[in-house]
Amino acid sequence: MRPFPTFDRPTAALADDRGAALVAVLGWTAILASLVAALMAFALNGSRQSAEDQDWHAALGAAEAGVDDFVHRVNRDSTFWQDAVDCEDPDEAEGQPRCEFVDTPGAGSVGEYRYTVNTGEFEDTGGVTVVATGRVRDRTRTIEATIRRTTFLDFVYFTDYDMLPGRLNDDCDGSDLETYYWQDGWDGTTRDSDCNTIRFVSDDVIDGPFHTNDVPLVEGSPTWNAQATSSNPQLDPTRDELDDPDPNDGWADFCPYTNRCSPGTPDPDFQDGDPTYRPSQDMPPTNDAVRAAADPEDATAGEGCLYLGPTHVELLDGGQMSVLSPLTPDSHNPGQGCPGHGNTGSHPDNGVIYVATGSEADGSHPLEGSVIPSGDATLDSNPVESHLETYDPEAGDLFIEGTVDGHLTAASANDVIISWHLEYANGTDSDEDLIGLIAQNDVKVMGAVAGSRTGGPSFSTLDLPRHGTTFDDPRIHAGLLALNGVVKVQNYAHVGDRGTLNITGAIAQRYRGPVGLTIGSGRSGYAKNYTYDWRLQRLSPPHFIEPVDAQYDVAEWAERVTPDVHRD
């Protein structure tokens, strides 16, 4: 019988190796367990951090929802922000975001918002400040937004109708003067060929937001440096019958409507994209609301200055102004502190100047020789040429120039004539100075000429009596509004080449007004240099006129530290 095999006992050395292996296994197990625990902790922490990041971003969205809520409410009820709310009254406070946090709309939303409203700057800037805080769980973020109505000063260039007004369109059918290009029946083939139109040409640069209720006519290659908009309904993407608007609906070729154009296909350069749709900005019929703010006999008026008949205002440093207003009685502004004829004084308290129609002029113009040069053809009741407009010696015409030091609105019952440079004392880098000019009819840059049509038109440019020279290269800082007329240069076809018209601000007009005329290889009037004053996106001159049914919108916003009142 074969014996079973026998096995030797492990030696001591082998026993030691087996113990070391066990220790190594246990060590690696511990290390792996630590790594797994660390990875789990990291994952859990990352998940928690991700949730906190989501809450952080969602809180900003909730704050924006608060601003949207205010804008919606104030557009539905324009007095909403003026209504007092008693947050101590539970019935008034409940669901009122000016008193407590309310839920953001939307299924499953976990955000809340509340806001406070500050109207302290409304009279000065036309804006209301809303401070809105959004909250998601324990994360809060706050934004401060300036809310203001859309205004005519939101654009460097705004027109209602893109054509000359009737008095400069003698042969144009009256119905065409009140017809937009995009309306049915006006496609360029049925339009009266005698109508005078103005086009944008290759040298024109529109440096700021642009809007027309009409459609701009183009010849050559003009440039728009910012967004251009039109109220042509063909551009409205919400129209059922037009899902894909043609970009060319935002402008039109000038040549089909005249034989006075350069051959070739126009090629406008829209730097910020093709024109898009924007609802029309409708002008009110009068500027009577501005007069009410200046009239000492108006029950709602505060502290403006009202003058009668042709009036010249020179604005001076230090918030002062010098006035020539021969038809305004010395007692006309009792208690208002407004400087009378031949005097210098401070700006009106509410920043509003208005010139109304005067009476009892002796037949000659009361400002002839002092503001208007003697012999100016426009002083003649029978002007020598149709584009020379007459001065009415009793009209509510405001002549204005000088240094703007403060915030003002100056308006007139007839025309506003800029009789020399009009500039901000502190430039446009600060908010200290701002002016709006509102004419019931035209805003004009003074261009004085003498002349006769005998033997053919012959005109000479006149020096302005206050300055002893012609008005060359005007510098104008202002928001300009011509309610029923145009922004133009007086006698633009006859003043000779006067350089460049430099306007920093905004231009708004019922029709388009001419500022120069190309004559062969030369020019009469001015080349254009219009630059938008971007402060007008958030600031407004006092009591400046707004479009009919103007809507409130966000002008600017920035994130702020959450105030204590919003931490409850």
Instruction: List, for the chain, all residue ranges whose pLDDT scores fall below the cut of 50.
Output: 1-15, 185-186, 188-191, 243-245, 455
Exposure string (b/e) for 309-344, b if CB count within 10 Å is 16 or more?
bbbbbbbbeebbbebbbbbbeeebbeebebbbbeee
Structure tokens at 167: 């008095």
Residues 6+ apart with CB under 8 A from 513: 164, 165, 198, 442, 482, 485, 486, 487, 488, 489
Count CB neighbours of 146 within 10 A. Answer: 20
Strand partners of residue 312: 324, 399
Residues forming a β-bridge with 449: 461
List, in sequence order, every residue forming a beta bridge with 67; answer none if it has no partner.
none
Contact status, residue 515 vs residue 486, Cβ threshold 8 Å: no
Conformational region of residue 511, where left means phi above 0, alpha means psi within -120 to 50, and beta covers everything else = beta
Q: Any idea what DSSP says for residue 143?
A: E
From 124, 215, 101, 210, select the one nearest 163 (Cα to Cα): 215
* DSSP state, residue 269: E
pLDDT of 352-381, one tens digit each? Answer: 999 999 887 677 889 999 999 988 888 876
126 neighbors 540 (Cβ within 8 angstroms): yes
CA–CA distance, 146 with 539 (Å, rounded to integer): 10
Q: Please classify residue 53 by burial: count the beta carbons closer than 10 Å to its beta carbon, then call 0-12 exposed, 13-18 middle and 19+ buried.
A: exposed
How far is the C-alpha of 100 from the C-alpha of 132, rounded, in Å? 11
Q: What span, in angstroms and rounded, lies between the C-alpha atoms of 529 and 234?
A: 31
- Print the SS3 string covering 361-405: CCCCCCCECCCECCCCHHHCCCCCCCCCCCCCCCCCCEEEEEEEC
**Residue owning tokens 């728009």:** 224
Cα angle: 513, vertex 311, 462; to 5 degrees: 60
What pLDDT sits at residue 459? 80
Task: Name residue 265's amino acid.
Answer: T
What are 284's two structure tokens? 């009110």
Residue by residue, DSSP assigns 319-368 as: TEEEEE-TTS-TTSSTTT----TTEEEEPPTT-EEEEE------SS-TTB
Which residue shows structure tokens 């388009």? 512
Q: Nearest to residue 401, comparing CAs of 323, 330, 329, 341?
A: 323
CB atoms within 10 A of CB 23: 9
CB 524 within 8 A of CB 493: yes
Number of neighbouring beta carbons within 10 Å of residue 440: 21
Residue-wise pLDDT for 14-53, tens only, equals 445 556 666 666 666 777 777 766 666 655 555 555 656 7
- Give a three-class secondary structure readout of 296-323: CCCCCCCCCEEEECCEEEEEECCCEEEE
Q: Where are the domains of the chain?
A: 34-81+90-150+552-563, 287-361+390-546
Quick one: pLDDT at residue 246?
52
Specify the residue for token string 């251009």: 228
